[in-house]
Structure 1
Amino acid sequence: MDMMKKNLSSILFLIPKILQLFLNITLVLLAIILAVLLVKEIIIFTDILISDGRHDYKLFFDNILLFFLYFEFISMIVKYFKEEYHFPIRYFLYIGITAMVRLIIVNHDHPIDTLFYSLVILTLIIGYFIINITPRERSDKHWTLKNNKGF
């Protein structure tokens, strides 16, 4: 019976490790794919700049913002590994703001949609502001009334 508990506990210990390894491998593969797409966007920029003005400036701005989306996703994956397998929420906010700005530039034909996109950007910026003014490290002793001498 004791041997069976040890085997079960070792299996339960291995499952998160295996899943974490699988997650890390897939994130590295995603980063490689995003890096290839980032290089592709640079090639498209070069083509737009070299061309004789046959491309629209909206296409150029759209590609710039798409470039930044790829860049932000890659930097978020790098930050994930640097911060010991944790995605900082502020990177999701950066990506959301960039995506909404891209939507406004590309789909600005309907004013009500543009207003909604702008409200989403405002909400994301307010959320970012709230994240920046709250303490990053929250220990239990800091937030309890009896241990905090500031109250």
Structure 2
Amino acid sequence: MPITLTINGQPRVIDADPDMPLLWALRDELDLTGTKFGCGQALCGACTVHMDGAAIRSCQTTIGDVGTAKITTIEGVTGKTAEAVQAAWRALDVVQCGYCQSGQIMSAVALLSDNKKPSDSDIDAAMDGNVCRCATYQRVRAAIHDAARRLEA
């Protein structure tokens, strides 16, 4: 069944079952492999994308549930907030293995889009469920604070 999704600002038609997880549509049908498979149960955050600006887990969101919402992946995240987050990630050398980082960045961008000056507890709450096997959590928090300062400048 053809389903039209708006992905990174572009209409994309996928001929798939509406119960297909969005993650598989992104990776297997649209070749957008920046969004990662981690656990398949919405517990690790590796598959985080934005749906109408909100961070969601694409492994547990079906393409039939997306409807007319706009999906943004790591490949399509743009704007001042995304640039500040990416610059902070580089400046503070957040990434180790990198597997979780697209999900971490997508969650951080969603947080800073809603809260320009998050506290440590705001960051911890927003990033809860983004698992990093390399345990770069302190650098993630520091980078989010750095990105917030960049957005103030």
Range class of TM-score, shorter chain: under 0.3
TM-score normalised by length of structure 2: 0.26
Q: Which has the higher contact order (CA 8 A, sep 6+)?
A: 2
Question: Structure 1 or 2: larger helix share?
Answer: 1
TM-score (norm 1): 0.26
